[in-house]
Every structure is written in C-alpha cells, then in structure tokens.
Structure 1
C-alpha cells in the first residue's frame, strides 16, 4: 500500500519537486507575468511530462499544479469559467503520473497559495480568501488527494485560514511561508513564531518556500527548527540571493548589458543567477543535517537540480542512472582507452 505523508516522514526525509511555474514558462506553455497554469487544460500532456520529470528526478510527491489557479487570479484574466475544470484536471493528471512510479506510488498533493488580496485590516478580504481556499480544498477532497500543500503565504493569518480550511476537509496540511525582503511577515509575525503556531494548530509540516534562495532562507529555517517540535520543510529557489538582496524580486545582475523590460531580472532574466547543482546539493545536506524533514526546490528549479538534492541526502532516484559520470569523456575522462592526445589537452581546451 502507498504510505501516507506522515508515515514517510516518520521513516525519513520527503523530497518534494516544485518549480513547475518557471519550468513550463521555459518550455513555452505558460505566460510569464500572469503565471496562470492553464496548461492543465490547454496542454495536459506537457503538464504530465513535467510532473513525470520531477518525479523521476526524486520527488516523492506529484504536486498538482494549481498554484495561482484560484478565483481571484482567474477573475483578473477573465477566465473564471475555467476555474473548476482547471483545478480538477491538474489533480487528475497528477494522479495518473503518480501511478507510474515503479517502486511505490507517489503521493499526490493538492495546492493552494497566497491570494494577493488578503488585508489584515479588511474583514471582507479575509472572508473572500476563506471562500477561495474552501472551494479549492473541496475539489482536492473530491478528487482524492493525499494531502494539501498551502504555500508562499506572507501573512500569518492568511496561512492560518488556509490551515483551517484544509482541516475542515480532514486532510493533512503542509503550510509554508514566503518571506519578503522585510525579513518579517507582513502582519508582524516572525517566520518562526508563525510556524510554531501553525504546527501547534495541527499542520503536519511547517516551513518556508519560494522568494529566497538557500543562502537567504537557511538562517530562518534554523530558527524554525529550534522553535518547532514537528516536521519542518525547506523549499528554496535555486537562485543566488544574498543578505543584501534576500529575494529574487530585486536580484541584480551586474553583468547584464541589455535593457530589461521590467528593469529587474525577475522574472525572465534570472538565468545568470542560478546556483549550480553542486551548491544546491551542499545546501540540501546542510538542511538535512539540522533536521529539515521536507526538502525540495521551488521556482526556477530543473529536474536535474532536484535529482542532485535528492542524491545529496542519500536517495537514489529513478533517473539516477543519468547522473553525471565523466569517466568516458574524451577530454576529462579517466578511462584507459581514451586517447592521450585528447586527455593531455584538457587544461588547454
């Protein structure tokens, strides 16, 4: 039988593959800016292949791609009529791919996220947010997900509303926060305070995702780990954020010589600012060593990056057979049959 998320966490670290938003934009199936996952309806095979690529790279979870697929976002683009079909399709496709795992059926997670309309001073906005979450979680329940990941919340109270609506349907909850450049949640909570409360209120996993790369997220994961008794998740971006520029929204590229349409590298000119897979693997080992239980990568991550993260904590993935091995490379290999006139040239190539 397929083990639950809780059972897998009891047995070890769970790897979660995210990053569909940027990956599908790179592949040409999603518009940067609006970032709405219409791909679930317009190009379902492309979405299935993306799910599959991340699962084969080590993800224990197929996270249904419904990030931004909420009523407010669909209203903005004038396509509220697609809201329910999009949500149900994304989950159904995830379930199909999860069954393909050759060893143990992957978990399927529903997904809800920040609404961008929450206002701590506006009770009407709070009720609207609750209604948005309630209908999405309801579809998740009807489609039979294993748990729900609520993510990228930069208000503590919005995250708490998400948790309440997930619990209302009797589903396990993973709740992760997105920390903006102020280094504190917008309603005044520190991330460790918020995570402690969310964990005590019944979230199975609490932690952080998105906005920050490993270097500017990890210090906060350490604080959360010290405050939270339960499971903690860390799902950073693969970009080289810094203390001076802690998020990818205003991350500069000093080498850029062209005009950027947005005057920022976000979201379509971040390419030179990636961590390489070995740096991400180093972070994964560090996170694992301090007791982070739910580890992955968020926007911008490729399957190859995720595979390096999974392998760094001792897991062999379905596609580990394709992990780098330079033994036979004509310049850098060590195989005795390689030609000396090539291998001797390696430092000059």
Structure 2
C-alpha cells in the first residue's frame, strides 16, 4: 500500500495554522445562553459562516467545522439528525472558507467510560463511528479536548476504521501535568502514536506558557507532527473575559513553536485577531526539533514502563488450571496472592 504524505507535516518549515475559538466568537456575536451551538449550523448558518470567514481571512490553514458537541446523545431530542447537523457544518466551512481545509471537530461524549462511569468502550466506539461516518465529506478529523485516554482510544479507533481521513488527536491537561483521569503527556504520545494518529496535540487547558513543558514532553515521545491550541489564559469569573492579550498569547506560545511544534492555533478566549497576530509572528520562524528517541514503552493510562532490556514475565499468578489460585480469588484472599507474587519476584 502506498504511503500517503502526512497532511500535518510541513515540507517547507512553515507553521500550519489552525483557527481559534468558535464558542467565544458565537457568544461575542449574540448566541443566547442555553443555545446548542451545533444547531446554529442549520438555524443560523450566516452567523457560523461569519466566524469561519474571519478565521480564514486571519490566516488559518485549517478551519474546524462547528461540530464539537455534535454527537448522537446531544442531538437526540433536537429534531435534527446527526447527518443533517454535521453535513450543514461542513457546508458552512466550504462556503465561508473555500481555500482552507475543513476539519470534522469531535469532542468528548460527555459521559465517563467504565469503570469510572457507565458507558462501555463498545458503545463509545459506536457513537464516535457514527460521527465519523456523518463527517466523511471533511478533509481531516480533529479529536480534541479529551481527558480520558480510554475514550480517546475509542475515538481514534473509530476514526481510523471508518474513514481514511488524517486524524489529529489532542488532549487537555491540568496544572499538575496530567489529564483529569491521570494520563501524562508521555503516555498520551506513546499510546496515540502506536494507534496510528497522524498528529498529536494539546489544547484548551490553561495559557500557552503552562503548556510549553507538556508540549516538549509530547515532542520527546513521538515522531509525529505536534499541535498546540491553548486557551488565552484563564477566564475572569465576573465577566468571562480571558487574561491574555493576543500579543502575550503569541509570546508565551513561541517557545513551544521554536522547540518543534509545527501546528498551532487557539482555543477558548482566542479570536481571529489572535490568529492574525500568530501568523505575523511565525512567518519566518524555523522550528528546531530534537528527534524523538526510539524506544519501546508499555503504557497503562497512569503509568509507563520503558522496555530497554529483556523483561521476563512471570505466569505464577495465572489462575488457569490452578485450583488453589481460583479458590483464593473466590475467597478474596489477596494476602496469599500477594505472597505468591513476592515469591516469584524473588
């Protein structure tokens, strides 16, 4: 099979520009509280197109369709189908930003997966697959603002198995450097690279300065292009305004771009003026990325282990065919099981 060039890989060293926030702009332009933003694709396409058009004029190469929350559950009782809403969203990008690539924007489903919640992995996969199939007319897929590695896996697998579009996968991290469910940038990068993502990123979170070390960790753990789409700082609880000016936002983001991030845009609080300022700042920027060190890493959602030598794997705790082990499990005799594990380590 012929290898396709990576859409996100810059051939001339130029930073690929994403757009900024859709929600911020819709609110600025009169969206009423309680409105489902994705329905505006049908009920007020002129408003949605005005946002896309302004981001295209500001210099965005990729414009996100207004589909972040368009999922089967959210649209269930709206009177509109998933296909109608997503189809209208993609058409709005095509009409307002014809020279830009259109991204099918996929956010979290709004439910926790088992065992933290009640949604099964299979059901999550099916919901994401329906979104992907409805958005097949887009140029690429962006899976963003994810906090649960398990849900992110379901979304990426659904995207890769139900389309041939390139996929950018982006998670959001807290101040402690982990996602809400405890995943680190290294685990995210190693896992999503192994599952076939085309670009990895960090979006939302706090301001760009707090993302720089996290983005550098992603860069160190993948050979893929890396994207940054941070918030414009933190919102003021009194009026909702964000703390960073466009100039400060770009200034804080530049260290990540110089370190090798080659795809950039803005999330909450950013506007077309932010993207215009960013474009002016990166015109002559040449990222200097250190190549990712090749190594084998085994990851769970919370921990990673580098397999840099032969690692014997013991089978003593396998209960298959072992009546004593089976009985210990039934009796919840964990002390005995632990003793057997310690003996094997010795």
Shorter-chain TM-score bucket reads 0.7 to 0.9
Q: CA RMSD in A?
A: 2.3
Pick one of 213, 222, 225 that aligns with 2:207: 213
Provide the rounded CA distance (Å) in 2 between the counterparts of 1:13 and 1:113: 24
Q: Does the CA-based 8 Å contact 2:201-2:228 persist in structure 1?
A: yes
Provide the rounded CA distance (Å) in 1 between the counterparts of 2:250 and 2:144: 23
Name the residue aligned to 1:190: 184
Name the residue aligned to 1:150: 143
Tell me, what secondary structure is at the counterpart of 2:220? helix
Matches within 5 A, 1:83-232: 83-99=82-98, 105-121=99-115, 124-141=119-136, 144-168=137-161, 169-181=163-175, 183-232=177-226
Pick one of 298, 304, 315 that aligns with 2:273: 304
Matches within 5 A, 1:229-308: 229-239=223-233, 241=234, 253=236, 265=237, 269-271=239-241, 273-308=242-277
Residues 165 and 81 of structure 1: is their aligned pair in 2 closer, same or farther, counting only changes over 3 Å? Answer: same
Q: Does the CA-based 8 Å contact 2:177-2:214 persist in structure 1?
A: no
Tell me, what secondary structure is at the counterpart of 2:103? strand
Q: Does the CA-based 8 Å contact 1:5-1:147 persist in structure 2?
A: no
Provide the rounded CA distance (Å) in 2 between the counterparts of 1:286 and 1:299: 20
Q: Does the CA-based 8 Å contact 1:36-1:69 persist in structure 2?
A: no
Residues 281 and 187 of structure 1: is their aligned pair in 2 closer, same or farther, counting only changes over 3 Å? Answer: closer
Provide the rounded CA distance (Å) in 2 between the counterparts of 1:293 and 1:227: 15
Tell me, what secondary structure is at the counterpart of 1:111? strand
Following TM superposition, by how much is the alpha carbon of 1:128 offset from its aligned partner in structure 2, in angstroms?
Answer: 2.5
Provide the rounded CA distance (Å) in 2 between the counterparts of 1:186 and 1:284: 23
Q: Does the CA-based 8 Å contact 1:37-1:69 persist in structure 2?
A: yes
Provide the rounded CA distance (Å) in 2 between the counterparts of 1:195 and 1:36: 30
Q: Does 1:41 align with 2:34?
A: no
Report the count of equivalent residues.
279
Tell me, what secondary structure is at the counterpart of 2:165? coil
Provide the rounded CA distance (Å) in 2 between the counterparts of 1:125 and 1:18: 32
- Say which one has the larger Rg: 2
Name the residue aligned to 1:54: 55
Provide the rounded CA distance (Å) in 2 between the counterparts of 1:118 and 1:128: 12
TM-score norm. by structure 2 comes to 0.74
Structure 1: segments with no counterpart, 5+ residues: 100-104, 242-247, 254-264, 317-349
Query: Once structures 1 and 2 are overlaid, which stretch shifts more, 37-46 or 122-131?
Result: 122-131
Tell me, what secondary structure is at the counterpart of 2:17? strand
Task: Write the deviation string for residues 240-290 of structure 1: whole angstroms up to 9, x where unpaired.
Answer: x4xxxxxx5xxxx5xxxxxxxxxxx1xx7221x421111122133222101
Provide the rounded CA distance (Å) in 2 between the counterparts of 1:55 and 1:198: 29
Structure 2: segments with no counterpart, 5+ residues: 286-346
Residues 79 and 44 of structure 1: is their aligned pair in 2 closer, same or farther, counting only changes over 3 Å? Answer: same
Q: Does the CA-based 8 Å contact 2:111-2:119 persist in structure 1?
A: no
TM-score norm. by structure 1 comes to 0.74
Provide the rounded CA distance (Å) in 2 between the counterparts of 1:286 and 1:181: 18
Following TM superposition, by how much is the alpha carbon of 1:192 offset from its aligned partner in structure 2, in angstroms?
Answer: 2.3
Q: Does the CA-based 8 Å contact 1:18-1:301 persist in structure 2?
A: yes
Q: Does the CA-based 8 Å contact 1:58-1:306 persist in structure 2?
A: yes
Q: Does the CA-based 8 Å contact 1:118-1:126 persist in structure 2?
A: no
Q: Does the CA-based 8 Å contact 1:66-1:87 persist in structure 2?
A: yes
Task: Write the deviation string for residues 127-171 of structure 1: whole angstroms up to 9, x where unpaired.
Answer: 222122111100111xx2111001000001111111111111111
Provide the rounded CA distance (Å) in 1 between the counterparts of 2:38 and 2:176: 29
Runs of 4+ in 1 over 4 A off after TM superposition: none
Name the residue aligned to 1:327: none
